[in-house]
Structure 1
Amino acid sequence: MTDGDGTAQTDDVEVNLDIHLAHSARMYDYYLGGTTNFPADREAAGRALAVFPYARTAARANRAFMRRSTYLLAEAGIRQFLDIGTGIPTSPNLHEVAQAVAPDAKVVYADNDPIVLLHARALLRGTEQGVTAYVQADVREPAALLESARAVLDFSRPIALSMNALLHFVPSEAHRITEGLKAQLPSGSALVMSHLTQDFAAVETARLIQVYTAAGTAVAACTRDEFARFFTGWDLMEPGVVATQRWNPAPGEDAEPITDAEASCYGAVAVRP
């Protein structure tokens, strides 16, 4: 529940939604057709769509990439998942995909956005056999985030770490964060990532970055080589670094084929030797 000033109470924690300022998570929710957004978010999203008309399609492609990568990793035997930058719940969420394959899978969601805390209970509806948990944590403080995750996950066994559409919002710290997290994961773990790129729609993406910057959200795109650096030392799964919709597409997944320009994100999954 929210009050008129955008302040909410959840589990006795006060959450200031700051509804008068556009928020990247709520803009993303709007692109996906969700209802957890406010006028400021819709106005900013409208400006983004005016210069980058692919935003809705890109968001959909990114969510589909998450579902496919989670499914294939669960099929491969991974039973622990850490999803950082969770965002507002959109079904099917990561735990629903993982636990449909392996009901005993453990899933930890982590995010620092107040809006996600408000919806945390929706994230916790997993199977009786498995574990689904949520921690309020900031990816820019990976040590503290991992400490919270250790309460649920066994770091002596493989973990699938997902950071989808996240690191382009912390461009100056992205590689430091990634290497710090990778170093704590055991052999057999997987790194799942997607990231905005200008390689396919340079002009439109540059204008999109300007809109987000003007709305108070730092964002940066990367090249294919820059994205591939995140996976250094790990073994990329086939087909390697590709536009998100090209990563192991499921037959008939999308009735209308998505172009690289419409996706404008690279996606890849790598496993620690």
Structure 2
Amino acid sequence: MARRFQGKVAVVTASSEGIGFDIAERFGLEGASVLISCRKQRNVEEAVEKLKAKGINSVHGVVCHVANPEHRKNLIHQTLEKFGKIDVVVSNAGTNLSAEPFMKIPESIHDNAWENVKSAILILQEAAPHLNKGSSVILVSSVAGDDPLPPTPIHGVTKTALLGLTKALAKEMAPHTRVNCIAPKFLPTPFAEATIKKETNWESMEEATMHERVGTISEVAAAAAFLASDDGYYTTGETWMLSIGVHARL
């Protein structure tokens, strides 16, 4: 595997499992020192041990609920204390899926759902003063952001906002930091487990793609690694739709 992140430091939010974990793993295998985080100490510890078992020794874990101001400050403080700098930030944290239609969504659900956008901005406010020249930011959105459909419309619309945020941040953070977005199609992750149990027909999802298969989390991680590395230097303000052709048919 390439060593594109040798000597670099990457912060990945919501990275104890699923897409965040695989992104952290990919960065670590390519040489990065990795700061992972999630809401529960036990999950953080288990994720750190899993990464170390894969030969990634330069890894540190921190409890962080990105909606908590003190947690955000501590996340960046711990990264700088442990590794001394920041080269990459991946904003992967997201709220739970809600299957309520818009005309029935209570205000409390709106407050929770829009943390998808708010937390991405606030974590970067903490990190930005410490980002090195040539640094990179990756926001994790979803194909649903381009076409917010049932069963989780509010989730899709918050992901739509991340597409616009990517463009806005790319302009604001240039020329020293690139900002890009990855937007994967629905994947079998722990985060999506509730929806998968209720209604997902994987066979029909495979048939909807041009290559008749769903993607994998490791493929999403590979895309994030490309955009965050120097190989993706010519790319900023862009969203990479990862759907094996489903998005092209929309």
Q: TM-score, normalised by structure 1?
A: 0.48
**How many residues were matched structurally?**
174
Distance in 1 (CA, whole Å) between partners of 2:56 and 2:182 is 35
CA deviation string 1:11-54 (max 9, x = no partner): xxxxxxxxxxxxxxxxxxxxxxxxxxxxxxxxxxxxxxxxxxxx
Question: In the alignment, is the contact (CA less than 8 A) between 2:141 and 2:160 conserved in 1?
Answer: yes
Aligned to 1:185: 131
Unaligned runs of 5+ in 1: 1-70, 213-218, 246-253
Distance in 1 (CA, whole Å) between partners of 2:88 and 2:55 is 21
With over 3 angstroms needed to count, the CA separation of the structure-2 counterparts of 1:242 and 1:135, relative to structure 1, is closer
Question: In the alignment, is the contact (CA less than 8 A) between 1:106 and 1:152 conserved in 2?
Answer: no
CA deviation string 1:115-171 (max 9, x = no partner): 62363453441566841221112323322211122232122xx52111125386443
Aligned match for 2:4, one of 56, 75, 81 = 75
Paired amino acid for 2:159: A
Matches within 5 A, 1:1-273: 74-75=3-4, 77=6, 79-88=8-17, 93-102=22-31, 105-113=32-40, 116-117=43-44, 119-125=46-52, 130-139=57-66, 140-141=68-69, 142-155=72-85, 158-164=86-92, 166=94, 169-196=115-142, 198-204=144-150, 207-209=151-153, 220-223=158-161, 224-231=163-170, 232-234=172-174, 243-244=183-184, 256=212, 269=228
Paired amino acid for 1:229: A
Paired amino acid for 1:135: V
CA deviation string 1:182-232 (max 9, x = no partner): 23212122112212465532332xx4146x7xxxxxx83324323322333
Decide which structure has greater helix share.
2
Q: CA deviation at 1:83?
A: 1.2
Paired amino acid for 2:80: R
Distance in 2 (CA, whole Å) between partners of 1:94 and 1:242 is 12
Distance in 2 (CA, whole Å) between partners of 1:135 and 1:255 is 39
Question: In the alignment, is the contact (CA less than 8 A) between 2:35 and 2:59 conserved in 1?
Answer: yes
What is the alpha-carbon root mean square deviation over aligned residues? 4.3
Aligned to 2:242: none
Question: In the alignment, is the contact (CA less than 8 A) between 2:38 and 2:65 conserved in 1?
Answer: yes
Paired amino acid for 2:174: W
Question: In the alignment, is the contact (CA less than 8 A) between 1:195 and 1:227 conserved in 2?
Answer: no
- Counting aligned pairs with the same residue, the percent is 10
With over 3 angstroms needed to count, the CA separation of the structure-2 counterparts of 1:87 and 1:225, relative to structure 1, is same
| SS of the residue 1:159 aligns to | strand
Question: In the alignment, is the contact (CA less than 8 A) between 1:81 and 1:159 conserved in 2?
Answer: yes
| SS of the residue 2:152 aligns to | helix
Paired amino acid for 1:145: L
Q: TM-score, normalised by structure 2?
A: 0.51
Distance in 2 (CA, whole Å) between partners of 1:242 and 1:118 is 27
Aligned to 1:40: none
